[in-house]
Amino acid sequence: MLYENWLQTASLNIKTAYCPPLKRDVTSDCLVIGGGIAGLHAAFRLANAGKEVILLEKTMCGGSSSGQSGGFLTPESEEDIKKLIKRYGRKRAGIIYNIPLSGVNMIVSTIKDYNFNCDLRKQDSLYLSIKPSHNDKIEEEAETRKEMNLPYELLDKNELEKIHPGGYILGLKYSGSYGMNSLSYVKEMKNLLLKKGVKIYESSEVNTIEGNTVKTHLGSVKADNIILCIDKMKKEIHQEVSKKYYHVQTFLSISEPLTNEEMNTLFPKQEVMCWDTKWNYTHYRPVVGNRILIGGSSVLTSYYSKYYHSPTIINRSINQLKKRFPIIKDAKFTHYWAGLIDVTKDLVPIVDYDNKNKSMQYVMGCAGLNWAAFCGDYAARRILDPKNTEDLTEFLGLNRKYFLPDFFQNIFGKKITFAISHIRELIR
Ligand SMILES: Cc1cc2nc3c(=O)[nH]c(=O)nc-3n(C[C@H](O)[C@H](O)[C@H](O)COP(=O)(O)OP(=O)(O)OC[C@H]3O[C@@H](n4cnc5c(N)ncnc54)[C@H](O)[C@@H]3O)c2cc1C
């Protein structure tokens, strides 16, 4: 197996212009920093409103998480509706559930409106119980969806066999989810922004920010409004803000093209995107060319500070899938890659103004393509029409309280603080 991000091969058909580094001092109405989904959606909203926009990106657009993802587009990401209700109560959970939901709709409608070529697939979600003691997770989720009037089907073993015959014992199926190649999406989005007049500078890492002036190694931008959508912020940019998020590591792999018979055995009726009830869940879905894209993680590597290059973790997920579907036991998985997803301590992103400079906003810790799209767009709307933009500070605020306060992090460090905080979110 090759350690390589297969999405790069799969998106070679989308050509994008070379955007050279910023090499001079310039000014603009708006500056967006970071060319992931959040930054691109922020720039998109601002450009559509006629603003002059510059986008600075450290590597290339999609050079981090947004160009490495599995492309599962579902409102139920790290935070399912049941957990949100437990944390916020029913009414407030509805407000925050709307964020990933709107994010999915925003991405899908952009793809359709502009005819993006990014392997968009309508794939219902299938949440699968691997053993009887896990059935209550599925049942509780079904119960919550019923109370919230959200669509779902609860499928027993026999019904599951007709849709996805892998020996799972209970499943929850619902519509409203899609799959896409997220790197192709980013490249299409970059092309669209260039057409709309956004000036994009790649290989342009922001090193310091002083007031409204942002400096790279070779140039600077002075802007009336700044939106920072960067991952893994260095403390030189903002020491306190950089403490607010860390990452979790996850792994993906891709199969060689499968035969129609193999594919029809896995998905006899329709394509679905699947994940199971394990804490470090295995997830997979069909992608272009009759391949299966699969993801997995492990408790131990989740909080590693660096990329873990061994295939051990993802091989575990691949072998589990092969056991459930012996027809693919000899299929090769050709590529695998690791990625670090930025997260906050409570797994909900931050979108907020800088404490001292209200013309600068942070968009950070978006654990999901849909959250990122919404949050980038939301920050832009707050520039364009602050009075009529909903106030989500209670959920997304920079200064919100977490289970473990800052002094705990100062003593025990990021890894331990974030791990404990996430375990608490997942079990409560
Ligand atoms: C392996 C993997 C699988 C995933 N699978 C899924 C999935 O199936 N579904 C899903 O919804 N989500 C998935 N995610 C999560 C999703 O990809 C991210 O949540 C989302 O892409 C975050 O987007 P973003 O724009 O906030 O951040 P990023 O994509 O990380 O973008 C931030 C950008 O900022 C740039 N940057 C950083 N520092 C600077 C600087 N100083 N100056 C200039 N630019 C800078 C970076 O180069 C980067 O391009 C996955 C992530 C990974 C890693």
Q: How far apart are CA 180 and CA 190, in angstroms?
A: 16
pLDDT in the model for residue 61: 98
What is the per-residue pLDDT across 61-101, written as a single tens digit (0 to 9) for each? 999 999 999 999 998 766 677 778 888 888 888 888 899 99
Q: Which two tokens stand for residue 363?
A: 């968009």
The backbone torsions φ and ψ at residue 395, rounded to the nearest 5 degrees and listed phi first, read -95, -40
Cα→Cα distances 311→249, 250, 316, 352, 387, Å? 13, 11, 9, 38, 50
- Residue closest to 178 by CA, chosen among 125, 141, 230, 225: 125
pLDDT at 78: 61
**Mind listing the pLDDT tens digit for each residue in 203-259?**
999 999 999 999 999 999 999 999 999 999 999 999 899 999 999 999 999 999 999
Instruction: Return the pLDDT at 397.
Output: 97
Give pLDDT, residue 89. 86
Poorest-confidence range of 166-175, 341-350, 353-362, 406-415?
406-415
Q: Whose CA is closest to atom 9 on ligand 1?
A: 72
Which H/E stretch holds residue 143? helix 135-147
Phi and psi, residue 272, nearest 5°: -135, 155
Q: Please state the atom number of ligand 1 nearest to the C-alpha of residue 37.
A: 25
CA of 126 to the centre of ligand 1 (A): 25
Q: For residue range 170-213, what is the model confidence (pLDDT) as tens digits?
A: 999 999 999 999 999 999 999 999 999 999 999 999 999 999 99
Determine what percent of the chain is predicted with pLDDT higher than 90: 86
Q: Please tell me whether residue 380 adopts helix, strand or coil conformation.
A: helix
Which residue spans of the chain are classified as CATH 3.50.50.60? 2-68+183-239+346-414
What per-residue confidence (pLDDT) applies to 299? 85
Per-residue pLDDT averaged across 252-281, rounded? 96
Atom of ligand 1 nearest to the CA of 35: 49
**How far apart are the CA of 365 and the centre of ligand 1, in A?**
9
* 365 CA: nearest ligand 1 atom: 26
In this predicted model, what pLDDT tens digit does every residue of 32-47 receive, in sequence order?
A: 999 999 999 999 999 9
**Cα–Cα nearest to 176, from 244, 105, 80:** 105
Tell how far the Cα of 330 is from the centroid of ligand 1, in angstroms: 33
pLDDT at 79 (0 to 100): 65
User: To which residue do tokens 């012996």 refer?
Assistant: 326
Question: Which residue matches tokens 């295995």?
Answer: 282
What confidence score (pLDDT) does residue 263 get? 98
CATH class in words for 2-68+183-239+346-414: alpha beta
| Mean pLDDT, the chain, whole residue set | 95
pLDDT tens digit string along 140-176? 999 988 988 889 999 999 999 999 999 999 999 999 9
